[in-house]
Amino acid sequence: MEHFRSHPMFHRADSLEELGSKSGIDAAGLRETLAAYNASVQSGRDAFGRQHLPMEIKTPPFYAVIHHGHSATSSVGVVVDENLQVVRLDGEPVPNLYAAGEVLGAGVTMGDAFTPGMMLTPALTFGRLLGERLPVPGTSAVAGTSRATWRAANPSAMVQRG
Ligand SMILES: Cc1cc2nc3c(=O)[nH]c(=O)nc-3n(C[C@H](O)[C@H](O)[C@H](O)COP(=O)(O)OP(=O)(O)OC[C@H]3O[C@@H](n4cnc5c(N)ncnc54)[C@H](O)[C@@H]3O)c2cc1C
């Protein structure tokens, strides 16, 4: 409860007018909304179809909590081919331009669904695959080289990890 006294996202007041003024909510609209909600609690019928209507809100103190919408991911992104090379609208690959991770967009790995973890996991996996396949300047490795082949061709360029 200490948060309600000090955090800028929370407001506490002894009247709806005061709560509206503190939180930037139109007091008349707030009063109407609460009256409608309280009526729903009494009747059991709610304009929004809510079925969980535990109790009327009418005894002070009243609290307001500010909620912000945010977008955690982008569902759209650049188009790549099977080598993660960015392609133009005409399907031609852009020389030396590759992409992995968020910039591909969530749609490419999830379609229309939302699946937890399906942004970070492909970002890490595709990023690693890309890092293993990309040519390194001054070496004989080329895009598409498998990790084992790349290692064999570039023994001194690899950082050995066990
Ligand atoms: C709040 C939130 C919650 C999330 N929760 C989940 C989750 O639970 N599960 C999940 O799978 N995904 C989640 N995601 C999505 C996931 O975090 C991202 O999709 C993923 O981190 C993208 O990784 P990335 O490497 O492609 O991009 P980023 O992690 O964005 O990395 C891009 C990097 O490039 C740097 N950069 C940008 N411009 C330049 C430049 N010009 N020069 C040099 N560096 C530059 C940036 O600083 C950044 O470090 C969440 C995202 C957010 C915002």
pTM of the model: 0.64
Q: How does DSSP assign 124-145, residue by residue?
A: HHHHHHHHHHS--TTSS--TT-
Same-domain pairing of 90 and 146: yes
Tell me the residue range of the domain where 20 lies. 2-65
| Average confidence (pLDDT) per 10 residues, the chain, 162 residues | 80 94 94 97 95 96 91 89 91 92 89 87 92 72 57 60 42
- Is position 28 within any domain? yes
Print burial letters for 18-46: b (CB count within 10 Å at least 16), e (below 16). bbbeebebeeeebeeebeebeebbeeeee
Please report the pLDDT score of residue 32 as a whole number.
96
CB 120 near ligand 1, within 6 Å = yes
- Is position 17 within any domain? yes
How far does residue 122's CA lie from ligand 1's centre (Å)?
A: 12
- Is position 52 within any domain? yes
Read off the CATH number of the domain in which 51 is found.
3.90.700.10
Same-domain pairing of 29 and 58: yes
Please report the pLDDT score of residue 107 as a whole number.
86
Give residues with Cβ within 8 angstroms of 99, minimum separation 6: 77, 78, 80, 84, 86
Please report the pLDDT score of residue 150 as a whole number.
58
CB 72 near ligand 1, within 6 Å = yes
Same-domain pairing of 60 and 89: no
The total domain count for the chain is 2
Please report the pLDDT score of residue 7 as a whole number.
87
CA-based end-to-end distance of the chain? 51
Please report the pLDDT score of residue 73 as a whole number.
85
Q: Is 113 helix (H, G, I), strand (E, B) or coil?
A: coil
Locate the ligand 1 atom nearest the alpha carbon of residue 117 and give its number.
11
- Is position 96 within any domain? yes
CB 123 near ligand 1, within 6 Å = yes
- Is position 76 within any domain? no
Same-domain pairing of 11 and 49: yes
Q: How far is CA 88 from CA 78, 85, 116, in A?
A: 9, 10, 30
CB 97, CB 80: distance < 8 Å: no
- Is position 102 within any domain? yes
